[in-house]
Structure 1
Amino acid sequence: MTDQRPLALVTGASSGIGLELARQFAGAGFDLVLNAEDDELTAAADALRVGGTTVTPVRADLRAIAGVEAVWSAVQATGRPLAAAALNAGVGRGGAFVDDDLETQMEVIDLDVVSTVRLAHHVLRDMVARGEGRVLITSSVAATMPGAFQAVYNASKSFLQSFAEALVEELAGTGVTVTSLMPGPTDTEFFDRAQLQDTRVGSGSKDDPAQVAEQGFTALMRGEQKVFAGSLLSRVQAVAAGLIPDRLKAKAHRQMAEPGSGG
């Protein structure tokens, strides 16, 4: 019966890694509460209503507190325990920090950082009270390096990575696990939305979001602390980044993300 299926929440679920994570959950027998702010959410929800999967779409902008509360209210309205949550919603922004509109940069923080913290607080308090649950936070390999020409985005992912790893320790012994998903460049709408099309990273090769999601889902279900996801090359590069001084990583990032570097 449907009420015996576990329930999962996925944010940023209309496309890319979020949609693929939703597919992983559905394939594993979860019912879904899905969130995104765009029109594509309806089609994504319809596509996932197969094999008995119940899908509740919640179109809301998580940059606003009201959007976060709408998502959490939708979870509560199911009357069912939340077994897992993939806090995946995020956005990037390329270009020089001083040349961009400040409010646009602040929206990166509002979505990537503030909304994740707010929703995680709801989710984790509920899970800890029940003594079980799994949370996946989409970080990035960008968390491992200063992001010249993506300064706010990389900093936001560094925050999420530190946040997730701290929660792992705080929640030890509670029955609740937190896993951080750290993909490299992935073939999604991210680069167009971040206005990175004319950069080396924007025009370069990218990993398959389905592969990234599968690796993230597997790590989540195993209770792993973090996973570098994507191709073997991306995972090797992510590990190697930990051995390189930050100053050199910032210079290398500039070569990949500076406007015009893709031509």
Structure 2
Amino acid sequence: MTHTPGRPLALVTGASTGIGYELAKEFARNGFDLVVVAENERIHQAARDVEALGGTVEAVQADLATPAGVQQAYDRVAATGRPLDALVVNAGIGVNGRFAESDLADELRLVDLNVRSAVHLAKLGIPPMVARGAGRVMFTSSIAATQPGPFEAGYAASKAFLLSFSEALHNELKDSGVTVTAFMPGATETEFFDRADMRDTRLGAAPKDDPAEVARHGFEAMMAGRDHVVAGSVHNRLLAGAAKLVPERIKAELHGRLARPGSAKE
């Protein structure tokens, strides 16, 4: 990657499609060079699309569900010889269905990608930011973090981890010059629901937010140094607010009705 004078550098994971792709475009439009990462080969076309908006964009095709993939992505940043100004930990997957019937490998891959790789990447990226006294970090959590998630139990739990982890780091780093933001979208029109096999659920069939608008909300909150942002529609903010008042047992029941396989036909 060549140096573009005056442009800071951002790393965005899960950037081949959906919210991550739109986040990468927000960074490019706002004066950043980028390293963008995803497991699939579409990341190369995504990088070309984003680069057309300005600056330099480098694609890394890596499996972030593995330690080697995380290291590969961060090594590409380090190889630029440039400080990392913004780190967006966005890559994630879901698993839908009854936990008693789901595949163990799928559940563990979810934990590896959504949780372990987020901690690993943060451990690589945050200490140099702290040493420099500047940097912005954002973790893509979800409004699913505010409630138990029957029929996507591992996913909701992983997003709750990211919300708690992000808020804790925001507090730890409050005097360091480094900000940490928990990004909490609601249901957004991306490939997530297809990959998680959720199109036959009420949640999967319901209207969804525009990923470009959701990404803009996240980018603005990150740049403002906010501790968290509930992105997307007003409906999402109402749900997140109500979640503070409703007992866990009731939230679990309500979520289960939305995420149960086949519920879209009921």
Task: Return the TM-score normalized by structure 1.
Answer: 0.98
Following superposition, which runs of at least 4 residues in structure 1 exceed 2 angstroms of deviation? none
User: 2:45 and 2:144 mapped to 1: Cα distance?
Assistant: 30
Describe how 1:105-120 pairs up with structure 2 within 5 A: 105-120=107-122
User: 2:31 and 2:52 mapped to 1: Cα distance?
Assistant: 10
User: 2:145 and 2:51 mapped to 1: Cα distance?
Assistant: 34
CA offset at residue 235 of structure 1? 1.7
CA offset at residue 39 of structure 1? 1.6
CA offset at residue 3 of structure 1? 3.3
- Residue type of the alignment partner of 1:183: P
- Residue type of the alignment partner of 2:8: P
- The equivalent position to 1:240 in structure 2, one of 239, 242, 247, is 242
Answer yes or no: is the 8 Å Cα contact 1:139–1:181 preserved in 2: yes
- The equivalent position to 1:74 in structure 2, one of 66, 73, 76, is 76
CA offset at residue 51 of structure 1? 4.8
Answer yes or no: is the 8 Å Cα contact 1:2–1:52 preserved in 2: no
CA offset at residue 110 of structure 1? 0.3
- Residue type of the alignment partner of 1:229: A
User: 2:209 and 2:227 mapped to 1: Cα distance?
Assistant: 22
1:179 corresponds to: 181
- Residue type of the alignment partner of 2:82: R
3-state SS, counterpart of residue 139 of structure 2: strand
1:252 corresponds to: 254
Answer yes or no: is the 8 Å Cα contact 1:135–1:220 preserved in 2: yes
Deviations 1:96-123 (A, max 9, x none): 0010111111111000000000000111
2:15 corresponds to: 13
CA change 1:160–1:51 in 2 (3 A) is closer
Gaps of 5+ in 1: none
User: 1:186 and 1:74 mapped to 2: Cα distance?
Assistant: 30
3-state SS, counterpart of residue 4 of structure 1: coil
Deviations 1:124-178 (A, max 9, x none): 0110011100001000001000000000000000111100010011111000000
- Residue type of the alignment partner of 1:242: K
User: 1:120 and 1:199 mapped to 2: Cα distance?
Assistant: 33
- The equivalent position to 2:197 in structure 1, one of 192, 195, 198, is 195
- The equivalent position to 1:130 in structure 2, one of 116, 129, 132, is 132
After TM superposition, the structure 1 stretch with the greater mean CA deviation from structure 2, 235-244 or 94-103, is 235-244
Answer yes or no: is the 8 Å Cα contact 1:144–1:241 preserved in 2: yes
3-state SS, counterpart of residue 96 of structure 1: coil
User: 1:169 and 1:250 mapped to 2: Cα distance?
Assistant: 29
Answer yes or no: is the 8 Å Cα contact 1:113–1:160 preserved in 2: yes
- The equivalent position to 2:212 in structure 1, one of 210, 213, 225, is 210
3-state SS, counterpart of residue 5 of structure 2: helix
- The equivalent position to 1:150 in structure 2, one of 143, 149, 152, is 152
Percentage of identical aligned residues: 54
Deviations 1:64-122 (A, max 9, x none): 10000000100000110111011100000100001011111111100000000000011
User: 1:105 and 1:213 mapped to 2: Cα distance?
Assistant: 27
1:93 corresponds to: 95
3-state SS, counterpart of residue 79 of structure 1: coil
Task: Return the TM-score normalized by structure 2.
Answer: 0.97
